[in-house]
Amino acid sequence: MADKLKFAVIGGGSWATAIAKMLCVNQKEICWYMRNEVAIDHLKSYKHNPNYLSSVEFDTSKLVLTSDINEAIQYADYLIFAIPSAFLEGELSKITVPLKDKIIFSAIKGIVPETSLIVGEHFHIQYDIPYYNIGVITGPCHAEEVALERLSYLTIACGDPDKAKKVAENLSGNYIKAKISDDIIGTEYAAMLKNIYSIAAGIAHGLGYGDNFQSVIMSNAIREMKKFIKKVHKMKRNINDSAYLGDLLVTGYSIFSRNRMFGNMIGKGYTVKSAMMEMSMVAEGYYAVKSAYKLNQGYGAKTPIIDAVYQILYEGKEAKAVFKKLTEELD
């Protein structure tokens, strides 16, 4: 059954590379779009992505590599987008072939800056893709641990459970366990929000706060996440499930978390610009906090952690002073 479906991965970063690795276990062939032609040539010659997860070796006979996004779209039934949300619309603007009949799964953990929408909503509103053809791939799962073939878990959410099952089947393997969910909106917002809380955890670490305070931030963050998501999309969900709490914890604590790394640099006194220049990967939470903060002006959820990160990153307030005030608001 797996081989009857055609998949294309859109993106050339670490998460796209990890997804391509997972799919190659179950598919005879996949299409992989990345805009960097030098990386494609390197992959063809040396069997690994030169820029991300370079330890992962691919059987290139299974890869249809292209720098033309339209070729990837025409090839596949299922499109998995795994590019930073800040660059999504720029890539979508290159599309000249129909998207309407494609099944789109987002592995992007952020908000599209041009519309302030999560990716699923962006595809639905801007490109008229029906919700039953849109899905989300969330963790807790770091690309680096997929590369190391360490046991990892995925949650696949879609309005159509059959499509979610098909994606779950094609991503599952000896070290990947995938389950399905019908909470497409909630899981995608959780994936976006946990990056903001990870930046907060990183800032705390950079300022010299210890593990005790980190645990307080995380316990407050999951409650804050619950309040925010409930305002956005009210339905029955268990916020302690892996897609919400598990993904939050791994992003807040892991050495592989780029958002935590970014926050740590801010806490140590880096400017936003200098921290971004030093990092080789995009910290999605930087873009997400602005959108989440503005969205919440309408929702009115109590979000002291989001507010604190926004004040530091966008209002230029001193991290030390903001966090001193935040310690009085958390419990």
Return binding residues for NAD(+).
87, 143, 258
Inter-residue contact 247 to 140 (CB < 8 Å): yes
Helices (H), the chain: 14-26, 37-46, 69-75, 85-92, 119-127, 143-147, 161-171, 184-207, 211-232, 247-253, 258-267, 272-278, 284-299, 304-314, 319-329
- Residues making up the binding site for substrate: 109, 258-259
User: Cis peptide before 130, with omega less than 30 degrees from 0?
Assistant: no
Inter-residue contact 104 to 281 (CB < 8 Å): no
Termini Cα distance of the chain: 50
Identified catalytic residue from 163, 166, 194, 226: 194
- Residues making up the binding site: 87, 109, 143, 258-259
94 has catalytic annotation: no
DSSP class of 269: T
What Å distances lie between residue 261 and 201, 245, 303, 306, CA to CA? Answer: 9, 20, 22, 17
Residues catalogued as catalytic: 194
